[in-house]
Chains A and B, each alone.
Chain A
Amino acid sequence: MDRRSEMHRRERRRYLIGFGGSLGLTLAVFAIAYRFGIETPGVYLAIGLLGLAQLVVQLVYFLHIDRRRSSREDLDLVLFSTLVLLIIICGTVWILGNLAHRMHMHVM
């Protein structure tokens, strides 16, 4: 009984850490955007990196994706989907950006 409530507390703390971390990152993103203005060089890069950090925090603390051996096959699924996703996004942006450039349109 005691072990159970101990584990419960530990898992709840895990969610709260994830929530606190995400909240901190969200506040940082909006604080930077309001304080410096989104068009200042470097600001968007910082926002992008903070967003990426928040993705990782939520994957680990909310979705419990980690490198434990027992969940490695599932990690493979997530990683492979991410690879497909990156090919789709980068490929689309590359091809259409190139097309726009050759058509002398002012894009990106």
Chain B
Amino acid sequence: MKRAPTHSYPGINLGERHASAHKATEVVTFGFWVFLMSDLVYFGLMFAIYITMIDAQAGGPGPHELFDLHSIFAQTLILLTSSLTVGLAMLALKYNLPRVRIVFWFAVTLVLGLSFLVLEVRDFMAMAEKGGVPQRSGFLSAFFGLVPLHGLHVAAGCLWLIVLGIQLRVMGMTDRIKSRVVRLALFWHFLDLIWIGIITIVYFGGLAYG
């Protein structure tokens, strides 16, 4: 063993208080990081396409007509807060707080995730009303290839929260459940990282160079 047992995978560790779950989590979490990184490469490709497509508006509506910065601002704050609450759920697990605390933070995260999605879908509908549909131009195709892909990830995260909440009730605090909570927290933080890229490159970049 060359690694210290208290910190054996990236991200927050369960630590020695959950010895058996900690060991079981180590390999799985490393594998999950490999998944996250390949997902990152996928997103990176979509970002690259978007950057090359910023000017390819083909006379259709561009960023200035389509983007609603107020809504983007609200979505950013919501997603950032949800990243904190999922971290607090993870801490509640790590320090063996009552299970109701974990479920509470899960519920808050779920509500925030769903509000994010509602705002995002509302934005897409507003864009479509102004003629901003994917088939209108290369710019819009690239936009709708990238931003809803992130939204889809958030939706998957919400589903995961619900399923894990139910499993927590039915199966109790088993090692497997603990390890799943660790990965869900990583996934959710990762989505917030991608969102920073989206506001910087897609929204502000689009407005600056579109």
Among B55, B189, B208, point to the contact of A38 (Cβ < 8 A). B208
Q: Is the CB of B209 within 8 A of A29?
A: no
For B87, the closest partner residue in chain A by CB is A15
Residues 29-62 of A at the B interface (beta carbon under 8 Å): 29-30, 33-34, 38-39, 43-44, 47-48, 51, 54-55, 58-59, 62
A-B contact count (CB 8 A): 144
Q: Is the CB of B197 within 8 A of A63?
A: no
Among A43, A51, A88, A91, point to the contact of B197 (Cβ < 8 A). A51
Q: Is the CB of B11 within 8 A of A63?
A: yes
* Interface magnitude class on chain B: 35 or more
Interface flag for B40 (CB, 8 Å): yes
Among A15, A44, A54, A69, point to the contact of B205 (Cβ < 8 A). A44
Q: Give me the interface of B with A, judged by CB distance under 8 Å.
A: 3-4, 6-13, 17, 30, 33-34, 37-38, 40-41, 44-45, 47-49, 51-52, 54-56, 69, 73, 76-77, 80-81, 83-84, 87-88, 91, 94-95, 186, 189-190, 192-193, 196-197, 199-200, 204-205, 207-209
